[in-house]
Amino acid sequence: MTSRSDNPERALRDSLGMFATGITVVTARAPNGTPVGLTVNSFNSVSLDPPLIVWSLAAHLGNVEVFSNCEYYAINVLADDQQDMSQRFATRDIDKFAGLELRDGLGRAPLLNDCCAWFECRNTIRHDGGDHLMFVSEVVRHTHEPARSPLVYFGGQYRTLAR
């Protein structure tokens, strides 16, 4: 058992890192049409009826306003060959959408190519979640590619499933 008392935040991150997740890119459009997006692994399912999902956004990030006020956003679930996409959308101050082919989802939220699944969500409920803002939203449209495998995040590293 490991728990580093000298750095409680690091210890919490390490323990949380034992929970394997998929990786998503959450996207929306600013009112002026500019696409915005970031890499997110806090995505999860909440409810089937009504169909609700959750994810959380660090409250200090620049796009909090856009995500708080947009009517729709999209969750792009990354496939196991999209590690570079995860890195790109986790990098600050670059043109994240440069050179990407996009489709427009509801509210013109950008849909990325070659993902495992896509969820188009109506931005309904937001909760204060400490240093994050939690979004609980209704899934309005969704689709998936059963032949693709997901990119996995575990222990702070990217993994792929053994096929």
Ligand X SMILES: Cc1cc2nc3c(=O)[nH]c(=O)nc-3n(C[C@H](O)[C@H](O)[C@H](O)COP(=O)(O)O)c2cc1C
Residues near ligand X (CB under 6 A) = 23, 38-42, 56-58, 61-63, 86, 90-92, 153
Kindly state the smallest distance separating residue 60's Cβ from ligand X, in Å.
Answer: 9
Closest CB to ligand X among residues 118, 153:
153
Residue partners of 117: CB distance under 8 A and separation at least 6? 77, 142, 143, 144, 145
Closest CB to ligand X among residues 63, 149:
63
Kindly state the smallest distance separating residue 1's Cβ from ligand X, in Å.
Answer: 25
Give the 3-state DSSP-derived string for 84-141, with helices as H, strands as E and coil as C: HHHHHHCCCCCCCCCCCCEEECHHHCEEECCCCEEEEEEEEEEEEECCEEEEEEEEEE
Are the beta carbons of 11 and 4 closer than 8 angstroms?
Answer: yes
Helix (H, G, I), strand (E, B) or coil at 44: strand
Kindly state the smallest distance separating residue 90's Cβ from ligand X, in Å.
Answer: 4
Closest CB to ligand X among residues 62, 155:
62
Closest CB to ligand X among residues 99, 146:
99
With CB atoms as reference, the residue minimizing the distance to ligand X is 42
